[in-house]
């Protein structure tokens, strides 16, 4: 079996502050505030997100609480689902090895506080759409995030299956399987791709391999792919290099 592991990633568009979770990518990005004189870095981890009918909400929110060894109070809707599947749940699942929240949780303001970024007692499911809307992380990853992220940290939950960036005069494209707001798989948006590439070009001159760009969109492998070269040696000033590479910190 041949495995392809990306050595770099394109950062999502938008503010590079706090936590950003890109749902199609199943990935969390953390932008710690740099101290004076420090270079900005990004730390990134894989996550699980909400499954169909239990979607992770989109939008801006923030961390309202940090909980070590959390108890789980499954909502009535989840208890009914488990009971229907022959797996009844108690009203409270205490901290310990049987708790699906793991050892650490960060509660978000979204949904009146019912959504969390938390660990797991089933690491094999990380990286998939399997939760009831929460964001699930590997135990060691959530421990690191728990130690780094203070209460009040802004969190952006986004749906960005296609990312574009200029890096050293190279135009890179990264595509992931697109889904709608309900979690349903949808066809790749070729028109959106064209708009994003045109916007990346701006007033600059570049050679773009449009066939390769469309093939990358359809393949949705998550691998940054070179699809264009700038005619000038300098990277377009509007790009501000979206790639997580070089001195950026990455994990998993």
CATH of the domain at 72: 2.40.440.10
In this structure, the answer to whether residues 128 and 198 fall within a common structural domain is no
**Dihedral, 133, 134, 137, 143 alpha carbons, nearest 10:** 180
Nearest-angstrom CA–CA distance, 249 and 48? 21
* pLDDT mean over 40-64: 95
Q: Of 158, 183, 213, which residue sits at a domain end? A: 158
Q: Of 124, 158, 192, which residue sits at a domain end? A: 158
Is 62 a known active-site residue? no
Residue 94 forms part of a structural domain: yes
Contact 126, 120 (CB under 8 A): yes
Residue 3 forms part of a structural domain: no
pLDDT above 50: residue 114: yes
In this structure, the answer to whether residues 125 and 222 fall within a common structural domain is no
Place of tokens 């592991």: 5
Residue 250 forms part of a structural domain: no
Nearest-angstrom CA–CA distance, 19 and 12? 11
- Count of domains in the chain? 2
The pLDDT value recorded for residue 4 is 77
Is 134 a known active-site residue? yes
In this structure, the answer to whether residues 135 and 219 fall within a common structural domain is no
Confidence of residue 232 (pLDDT cuts 50, 70, 90): low
The pLDDT value recorded for residue 190 is 94
* pLDDT mean over 178-201: 88
Question: Could you tell me the residue range of the domain that residue 226 belongs to?
Answer: 162-243
pLDDT above 60: residue 14: yes
Please state whether beta strands 135-136 and 129-131 pair in parallel, antiparallel, or not at all (unpaired). Answer: unpaired
Q: Of 158, 178, 199, which residue sits at a domain end? A: 158
Residue 194 forms part of a structural domain: yes
Q: Which tops the pLDDT comparison, 156 or 204?
A: 156
Q: Tokens for 248, please give them.
A: 């950026």
Residue 252 forms part of a structural domain: no
Is 143 in a helix, a strand, or coil?
helix
The catalytic position among 26, 132, 134, 176 is 134
Mind listing the pLDDT tens digit for each residue in 124-145?
999 999 999 999 999 999 999 9
Strands of the chain, DSSP E: 9-10, 18-22, 27-31, 43-46, 49-50, 59-68, 104-108, 116-118, 129-131, 135-136, 154-158, 162-167, 170-175, 206-208, 225-230, 243-244
Residue 173 forms part of a structural domain: yes
Residue 251 forms part of a structural domain: no
The pLDDT value recorded for residue 204 is 73
Is 125 in a helix, a strand, or coil?
helix
The pLDDT value recorded for residue 233 is 53
Is 221 in a helix, a strand, or coil?
coil
In this structure, the answer to whether residues 123 and 171 fall within a common structural domain is no
The catalytic position among 26, 118, 132, 176 is 118
């Amino acid at each position: 079996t041949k495995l392809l592991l990306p050595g770099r990633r394109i950062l999502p568009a938008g503010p590079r502050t706090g936590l950003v979770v890109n749902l199609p990518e199943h990935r969390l990005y953390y932008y710690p505030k740099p101290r004076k004189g420090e270079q900005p870095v990004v730390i990134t981890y894989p996550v699980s997100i909400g499954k169909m009918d239990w979607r992770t909400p989109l939008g801006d929110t923030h961390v309202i609480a940090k909980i070590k060894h959390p108890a789980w109070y499954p909502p009535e809707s989840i208890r009914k689902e488990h009971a229907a599947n022959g797996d009844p749940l108690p009203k409270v699942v205490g901290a310990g090895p049987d708790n699906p929240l793991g050892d650490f949780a960060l509660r978000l303001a979204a949904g009146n506080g019912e959504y969390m970024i938390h660990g797991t007692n089933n690491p094999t499911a990380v990286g998939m759409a399997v939760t009831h809307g929460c964001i699930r992380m590997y135990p060691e990853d959530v421990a690191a995030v728990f130690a780094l992220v203070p209460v009040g940290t802004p969190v952006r939950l986004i749906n960005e299956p296609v990312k574009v960036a200029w890096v050293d005069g190279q135009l890179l494209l990264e595509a992931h399987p697109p889904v709608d707001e309900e979690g349903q798989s949808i066809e790749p948006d070729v028109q959106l791709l064209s708009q994003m590439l045109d916007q990346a070009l701006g007033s600059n001159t570049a050679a773009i391999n449009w066939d390769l760009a469309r093939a990358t969109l359809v393949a949705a492998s998550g691998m940054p792919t070179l699809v264009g070269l700038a005619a000038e040696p300098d990277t377009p000033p509007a790009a501000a290099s979206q790639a997580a590479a070089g001195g950026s910190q990455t994990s998993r």
